[in-house]
Structure 1
């Protein structure tokens, strides 16, 4: 920890744009206190808005007395009703925050898969023995898939990529850069939905309900899109690594390696127990998939609502995916751990689940403040007013949907330089962006997809990214004089490539009106009144 802190402190001596970003971002409070400050500002704004008579016509509700669109007026958060709601409903406001349940359920299973060693071993297996000519795309692919493993991808795969490149006679920092670009730059790119989908769509669901009443999020709502992101990002990372970064780094000189790099002992070879564990985990995965197919198409079709409309028949299936991923990660992690010897008995399994919840302690604190910010935004009616006025402004601009969504990508990427947390940024943006674009006929799933592209692209160039100093240490194991500016300059071409290709993907997806996932489209009519 002291070494990491020293690297962070040494960064303050740098100059230039990145140093300005670092200094500016470091002045921002912790996201928890950022939300508390925003709540205080929201209270003041609500008082001003109520006194000034801010209002808007509700896009879906009709006033029964007049037969006209219902007028929604701004309400002060210091009104008696809102003060009563704040304190009386505080436990309900927190526990009914949709991301909370989604994330905790998925993490109960993912924590077992991570702590049993399944994630780390699977990533090592994915890159071990890779042909030299295909080394970069294999590392990039495993890195993006490794997002399912969250922190494990950073601490296992990224340093391992440096070792593998070194063993292949290639520059180890090129391997670290390719893995970092995949894990962090391609943060949302994956062939499977995971805990990030549960987190973001929980916030999306809460944002929709600030204006349009009940809405059920589908955590597979970006499945096809994030799979396409992986397909698009893979050649970008491959090209930038092999044609831009590695030639820039020059021939690898082992004499420049730091002592840790010269004596690196981490191996990509799997033991017999680990291979057995992977086979058992594969069987457990097939079992869960088969079980869900049985629930969907078997007797009684419990995950299909036969009496619902054609559009809503699969809603139970989509809603079950949170539980499905929990069971998949849990059983696969348990099966791996029993075979590999990392899970001794059921008590060890329960301990891993408990530890995964301990890791969520900070998230619980953040969720408490974010939940109240989102809820109070709705109580003040400012979310609806801003969404209606913003939608009218966007309509008047005449910009097509693809251009609007590409602007969201750019705005998110810029904001990401200063606020690293994906959930914190989305909790800030979603209450306005999601309803506003729904009023233009753009679905919550499409808005979330555009946000995800911008959220990942600049992760790899901001010193405020929590793992940035750690990646610097990994690089210095191989090249002692590799500094903060060196890392930022190395990752900048990746950031530009991922941002531009992601924007093209968003624009093309909207223009072609492709499905974003099962039951999720780009466009939809403005929701009707409840």
Structure 2
């Protein structure tokens, strides 16, 4: 899309702390080269740490003789790591976690967008709706979209930009609100989801490995009450920051001629062909939903796993394949809806048009593929060096030795997690590093494993949106640049800092108040804990 022309943006972007962040960040090199420089720096640090013998005692595992297992920093210039770099390069790239999600969903979403389905559907849906309600609706749907794994990043955020543009509001504000909901509110939701299964699986392993309490049973709904309240708190926070801080700073959106034709005529009635296309797209959506329902609920179907589960939790554990299938489900849904719309509206005349639209969608992902290649190798090499685990152990030990009251200590854990999140983006990777230390430590201090998990989730989400090392950060940058060319890392970081600050503050207050009041975090999941016997 052509560059967004915002007459007031030049002045607004040069004022105050956020202006300084934007100017400084935009002076950084291209993100691909930032990752390259970070890899070079990481290699140097790993060599120095290896020479000086930087180590840490593994918090859980022991040697066969009962002595502590020593975690040693490894040089990335060792023969083993050099061999791994060159031999496993294709695997390192293709196994990069978000890569498959992005490419699969964008195959369908590209057809839905290029056929005109998104623009027509949103215009029809928001006609006559108050513009001021768009922000909370976008934020709410963004947080709920996390039930579809990482599809919220590649579906909800570009949709929010189109939604805001369709009603004449700044599309960058839509991206900001959706990004804050999807990523900042990653753990906030109305019910447990796939993330709960992932995190509590790691929590359970930490409890079992520590051997403190063999009677503790993992409860997939152990944070249900907490994440529901967190969603209620984050919703007005995102609404306020978007409407009162971000959008005024962006200035009035003035679309160019093409944007005005495509998104700036929310009052223009749809043509008969467009209306027919929406009806046909609706039939396609119902058909895909019916197909997924049959594969989920009909006897002997593939999307319900016959897994062992704790009594009362089997309803979720057996549905794990369903949640994991939703990325593919979104691709099929958008592909079918876009195809049916395009055939009825006249924007798709043959199967060749459909293939061309899918190919164009992949062309838009070209820059992201280059970024993903660099980011994948940085993340992998950081793990090979053991520096992530060592730094997590020493940081957690420092919190353990602080001797602060429990509510304050838990608040500091949230802040520590948020700080660590600036350097290690993956939620599961960080929890896998921290849980073996933090969970047993807090159990000994009187905090349940569910409480430790809740504290981690707050810190992990709040700073997701301001670290370029978060795996989807480059993708959000690509979405933003489609509306405003020259929109750089500094611009995106500056735009998201107010969300991060207010979400972190509100999250810390919530966890401190929660532990002070001793409220349960979920059904059968108190925040307080005492050792058995």
Please state which band the TM-score falls in when normalised by the shorter chain: 0.5 to 0.7
Superposed counterparts of 1:500-515, under 5 Å: 500-501=505-506
Contact residue 59 and residue 436 of structure 2 kept, 8 A: no
Counterpart Cα distance in 1 of 2:320 and 2:167 = 41
Counterpart Cα distance in 2 of 1:353 and 1:29 = 31
For the structure 1 residues 328 and 229, does the alpha-carbon distance in structure 2 shift closer, same or farther, using more than 3 Å as the test?
farther
Deviations 1:352-372 (A, max 9, x none): 211111111111111111111
User: Offset at 1:317?
Assistant: 2.7
Residue 21 (structure 1) aligns with = 21
Contact residue 50 and residue 76 of structure 1 kept, 8 A: yes
Residue 479 (structure 1) aligns with = none
Q: Report whether the alignment pairs 1:382 with 2:382.
A: no
Counterpart Cα distance in 2 of 1:523 and 1:96 = 39
Contact residue 273 and residue 346 of structure 2 kept, 8 A: yes
Contact residue 296 and residue 317 of structure 1 kept, 8 A: yes
Deviations 1:159-187 (A, max 9, x none): 33337xxxxxxxxxxx8897566345545
Residue 267 (structure 1) aligns with = 265
Residue 151 (structure 1) aligns with = 158
Deviations 1:206-240 (A, max 9, x none): x99xx9xxxxxxxxx99999987775555456667
SS at 1:268 equivalent: coil
Contact residue 113 and residue 338 of structure 2 kept, 8 A: yes
Deviations 1:288-346 (A, max 9, x none): 23222222222323222325445653333333222222222222222222233222222
Counterpart Cα distance in 2 of 1:20 and 1:303 = 50
Superposed counterparts of 1:282-301, under 5 Å: 282-301=282-301
For the structure 1 residues 277 and 501, does the alpha-carbon distance in structure 2 shift closer, same or farther, using more than 3 Å as the test?
farther
Counterpart Cα distance in 2 of 1:315 and 1:364 = 29
Superposed counterparts of 1:62-141, under 5 Å: 62-64=62-64, 66-130=65-129, 135-138=131-134, 140-141=136-137
User: Offset at 1:78?
Assistant: 0.8
Contact residue 72 and residue 385 of structure 1 kept, 8 A: yes
SS at 1:57 equivalent: strand
Deviations 1:356-406 (A, max 9, x none): 111111111111111111111121111221222222223333555752464
Give the aligned CA root-mean-square deviation in angstroms.
5.3
Superposed counterparts of 1:25-44, under 5 Å: 25-44=25-44
Counterpart Cα distance in 1 of 2:511 and 2:437 = 19
Q: Which stretch of structure 1 is more off in the superposition, 4-13 or 271-280?
A: 4-13
Contact residue 141 and residue 234 of structure 1 kept, 8 A: no
Q: Report whether the alignment pairs 1:345 with 2:368.
A: no
Counterpart Cα distance in 2 of 1:101 and 1:233 = 29
SS at 1:162 equivalent: coil
Counterpart Cα distance in 1 of 2:453 and 2:367 = 27
Residue 472 (structure 2) aligns with = none
SS at 2:325 equivalent: helix
How many residues align? The count is 453
Residue 177 (structure 2) aligns with = 182
For the structure 1 residues 87 and 362, does the alpha-carbon distance in structure 2 shift closer, same or farther, using more than 3 Å as the test?
same
Aligned equivalent of 1:403, options 389, 408, 411 = 411
Q: Which stretch of structure 1 is more off in the superposition, 445-454 or 51-60?
A: 445-454
Structure 2 residues not aligned, in runs of 5+? 143-151, 207-221, 440-448, 469-475, 486-490
Aligned equivalent of 2:371, options 363, 366, 374 = 366
Residue 217 (structure 1) aligns with = none
